[in-house]
Structure 1
Amino acid sequence: MAPPKVKKPKNGTPPPIDKLIIPAIGIGLALLAYQFIKGMTADLVRVNVHDELELRDVLFGEGDSGRSYAVLCQDEASTAPISSVFSDAFKEGSSRAHFRLLDCQYVLPASGKSIADRFKLDTSVRPTVFVSGKGVEAPTQIPAKHLKTGAMLVKALKMKLEPHAAKIETTQDLKVKCLNQPICGLLLKGSKKAPAYLKDAMSKLLEEFPKVTFASIDSSVLYVKNLEEYLPELQGEEPRFVVLEKLSGSLDKDGKRLITSYATLDENTSVSYGTMSNLVASVVRRTKATEKIPSLPSVKTRTKKLVEEERQKRQRRKEQQTRQKEKASNAGTSSTENDGTREGRRAERDRRREEHRRKNNVKEKTPEELAEMERQRRKRMEDEASKWNVAPDDAPDAGMPFEEEDEYEVVYEDEHEDHGEDDEVIDLD
């Protein structure tokens, strides 16, 4: 029997090249994406929850690293990819935060609670990101509104972790954020948007003086009453800078009145990082004396009326300073005799006052002594007034204070004439 015939395969034509290009490109892109995600995950460090020192450093900032952290909650066994928002913020690299991965469902041995429950992290918000470490009292979750893009997350991290100047818009802002602080550097911007050199200068000042509070206010639309009269007049969009130092008091309900002082740049000195840094340093080191502000500054809307009042106050202060300089310069040559002029009469009064104080050893009363004298005077007035006032217990009973009119017998003069009597008789019995 003859063997079966084997069919020879026909010579097939290869597929067109254009049909192989698209699958090849897809495979190549998939391999690149895999390698990219693999490398990116390798760069992101996962916190070892079994290392207590590392865990406490990340959560409480108790280590010696002095770092701030941005932590993404992701289970160790999870196969889900890293959040693109978190990875984009990590790749952006401008934030000072160190990015970490952490299993937030890990149960802490000390409390018996998971990390998410211990710090009240809402894991339903995806991605679940929180900040911790240096400068943060406790792990704080980033709200969902800041987790839409990597750039928004970076901005939120900078606001929470990096020092920045406080924004002043109301009197309450000024009191809480600046006046109630030991030392505050206040930048009065000449426009809504500060130029780049001012932003860089404030950033350097925040780094150079971490214990000093810095704030800014848009003085083109807002007016700081009881403060701007001591500063150079606003010219165009030129910024101004002043350092405020708290002397005494606080904002507490039972506390004393808040009293502050100021130190400003010399006249015709431009605002720059160097001049601002020197001014702040001189106040911090007590090499420049600050001047007390009589009334606490407040924030108002800038109007022409307020600007005119400020100009008048500044002019009166300049005139007063000029008179004082002239008086000091002429003190050695001018006579104290009363020549009939206003200055002569004032000089005579001052001379007699000084002579009286020297002879009788009179010391000028301090504000505290004057306040005590006023209190004693008011007390004496109240004591004297109480002697003349009728107390409720001493008042007569309700009703008519006098007897009925018909109980009085009145005899008029014409009745005496009728009866031949000479005197008028009034019987009050």
Structure 2
Amino acid sequence: MGKKGKKTQKPPAVDKLLMPAIGVAAAVLGYYFFQGVSLEIPRIDPTDELALREVFFGEGRGKNYAVLCNTLPADESKKPLPISSVFSDAAEDGSANADFVLLDCEHVLPDSGKTVAERFGINLKKRPTVFVSGKVGPPKQVPEKHLKTGNMLVKLLRQMLEPHAQKIENTKDLKVKCLNRDRCGLLLKGGKPEPYVKEAISNLLKKHPDVTFASVDSTVLLLSNLEEYLPEFVKGQHRFVVFEKVSGGLDVGGKDENETEDGGAKKEKEGRLVTSILPLNEGVSFNAMDRLVAGSKQGKAMKKIPALPNVKTRTKKLEEAERKKRQRYQDRQRQQSSSSSSSSHQSGGGPTGGAFTANDGSKEGRRLERERRRAEHMKQNDVKPKTPEEIAEMERRRRQRMAEEEAKWNIGAEDAPPEGDPVDEEEGGGDGEADYMDMDDGEEWADEDGDGGDDEDDEDVIDLD
């Protein structure tokens, strides 16, 4: 048998390969074309004051902005600086809740005479220079460690712009992130939060966007000046409290002397920060926390605390001190409740009912006892409170009597004795020395001992030496 010869295959015709190659080239060109169109990042006009206020402070549309500092060359014939690939990749991603824009950060603001970078403390030496601003707050520069790739920048923007609970680690965090806000809900974690707790906080963030939420690890940290108003700490159990700012504030850095965040005049003195609280006395759940937050927004009575809470490391010594402080606070509450109940019994009972139950030795008890006795005296003697007119008339008469008495004691010129006459003779006193010498009716003084009296006296002296 002879071997079969192999069939040789002819190469395909050129016209068959040409069409796929043209299609691939067109697809590549289309990709780059549409990518260039989508990467058309708008530039903010630095001379437009309204646009700047919208970008810096979120006024107007209330959006968040990711801004790349990109300065146009003075010579228009030169090409502008290229846009950072990290910034363009993040803008192309589209998942960050922010508008990506360009801005000349070296532009001088007319009001302050400073550049945009100087006004908001932006370091132009860190490239690319990116900051976040708008509804989230005044411009805040993005650290260099988050500007290595577009994905890293997008991840940071999500963390900064999407609503989430603030983490409290020290007293400064507590004041800036929570107490200085109009209303803040603080979760005191008694351990690792369960999934239902995380979901509850996420739902609260969505339902109450105007309320700031924060959390603190109570297993490690202790909040003095606050613990006595909350349920006692138990490991594994979470607690929740709502703060409402009463007055005052904190000094915020990074501003001009005479400017605030919105560019207005700075107040001369805000005053000391004062806050009030509304604690949750039941278990932590979405419904319970939601009712508490809604109640605070609807004007539910909140307790004003005398001192701001301080974040301290939890120790046994501090726990014991807080336990004693809690006990003292509870004792005061019981005394006040008993005093109020006893005073209500007195108003509904006889004249002497509950005479000694109100006076427990405390300042409040003594005050109640005085008021009770005063009311009892006025009732028994039919004493009616005086009107303002009667009080004014009594004061007028008192002043008149004082003037009359003063006139009796004053010595006028007509009451003085004639010139040259001694005052003592007028009073009948005479010469004091003469009266003293004449007290024996003219009898002469005589020495009964005679001339030798001095010698006898000398002999009577005992020599003690």
What TM bracket, shorter-length normalisation?
Answer: 0.5 to 0.7
| Residue 144 of structure 1, CA deviation | 2.0
Residue range with higher mean Cα deviation, 142-151 or 64-73: 64-73
Paired residues of 1:189 and 1:216 also in contact (CA < 8 A): yes
Name which of 289, 296, 300 aligns with 1:276.
Answer: 289
Provide closer, same or farther for how the CA distance between residues 312 and 334 of structure 1 changes in structure 2, counting only shifts above 3 A. Answer: farther
- The amino acid across from 2:216 in the alignment is I
| Residue 223 of structure 1, CA deviation | 0.6
| Residue 220 of structure 1, CA deviation | 0.9
- Percent of aligned positions with the same letter in both sequences? 45
| Equivalent runs, 1:370-385 vs 2, <5 Å | none
Provide closer, same or farther for how the CA distance between residues 172 and 114 of structure 1 changes in structure 2, counting only shifts above 3 A. Answer: closer
Counterpart residue number, 1:222: 221
Instruction: Please provide the CA RMSD for this pair.
Output: 5.4
Counterpart residue number, 1:69: 65
Which runs of 5 or more residues in structure 2 are unaligned? 1-7, 12-19, 73-77, 252-267, 386-454
| Residue 67 of structure 1, CA deviation | 2.6
Counterpart residue number, 1:264: 279
Paired residues of 1:202 and 1:273 also in contact (CA < 8 A): yes
Deviations 1:189-214 (A, max 9, x none): 223x5455444544444454454443
| Residue 159 of structure 1, CA deviation | 4.8
| Residue 289 of structure 1, CA deviation | 0.9
- The amino acid across from 1:299 in the alignment is V
Q: TM-score, normalised by structure 2?
A: 0.55
Paired residues of 2:69 and 2:103 also in contact (CA < 8 A): yes
Paired residues of 2:359 and 2:366 also in contact (CA < 8 A): yes
Q: TM-score, normalised by structure 1?
A: 0.58
Paired residues of 2:70 and 2:104 also in contact (CA < 8 A): yes
Counterpart residue number, 1:154: 154
1:99 aligns with 2:100: yes
Structure label with greater radius of gyration = 2
Provide closer, same or farther for how the CA distance between residues 224 and 133 of structure 1 changes in structure 2, counting only shifts above 3 A. Answer: closer
Deviations 1:275-310 (A, max 9, x none): 223212211221x21123344422221123333444
Q: 2:110 & 2:359 partners in 1: Cα distance?
A: 83
| Equivalent runs, 1:236-385 vs 2, <5 Å | 236-248=235-247, 258-265=273-280, 267=281, 269-286=282-299, 288-314=300-326, 328=341, 331=345, 346=360, 353-358=370-375, 359=377
Counterpart residue number, 2:230: 231
Provide closer, same or farther for how the CA distance between residues 31 and 87 of structure 1 changes in structure 2, counting only shifts above 3 A. Answer: farther
Provide closer, same or farther for how the CA distance between residues 345 and 115 of structure 1 changes in structure 2, counting only shifts above 3 A. Answer: closer
| Residue 96 of structure 1, CA deviation | 0.8
- What's the secondary structure of 2:228's corresponding residue? helix
| Residue 168 of structure 1, CA deviation | 2.4
Q: 1:264 & 1:318 partners in 2: Cα distance?
A: 15
- The amino acid across from 1:42 in the alignment is V
| Residue 166 of structure 1, CA deviation | 3.5
Deviations 1:105-155 (A, max 9, x none): 9989999999889988766654443434444445x5433222012332123
Provide closer, same or farther for how the CA distance between residues 64 and 244 of structure 1 changes in structure 2, counting only shifts above 3 A. Answer: closer
Q: 1:125 & 1:74 partners in 2: Cα distance?
A: 13
- The amino acid across from 1:68 in the alignment is N
| Equivalent runs, 1:165-184 vs 2, <5 Å | 165-184=165-184
Q: 2:105 & 2:308 partners in 1: Cα distance?
A: 52
Deviations 1:234-277 (A, max 9, x none): 33333211012344555679876654332112x3x332333223
Q: 2:331 & 2:368 partners in 1: Cα distance?
A: 23
Query: How many residues matched?
Result: 344
- What's the secondary structure of 2:187's corresponding residue? strand
Paired residues of 2:205 and 2:213 also in contact (CA < 8 A): yes
Paired residues of 1:336 and 1:351 also in contact (CA < 8 A): no
- What's the secondary structure of 2:278's corresponding residue? strand
| Residue 95 of structure 1, CA deviation | 1.8
Paired residues of 2:248 and 2:273 also in contact (CA < 8 A): yes
Q: 1:217 & 1:104 partners in 2: Cα distance?
A: 40
Provide closer, same or farther for how the CA distance between residues 130 and 351 of structure 1 changes in structure 2, counting only shifts above 3 A. Answer: closer
- The amino acid across from 1:98 in the alignment is D
Q: 2:115 & 2:61 partners in 1: Cα distance?
A: 25
Paired residues of 1:107 and 1:114 also in contact (CA < 8 A): yes
- The amino acid across from 1:241 in the alignment is F
- What's the secondary structure of 1:46's corresponding residue? coil
Paired residues of 1:49 and 1:106 also in contact (CA < 8 A): no
Q: 2:106 & 2:307 partners in 1: Cα distance?
A: 56
Q: 1:121 & 1:316 partners in 2: Cα distance?
A: 50
Counterpart residue number, 2:35: 40
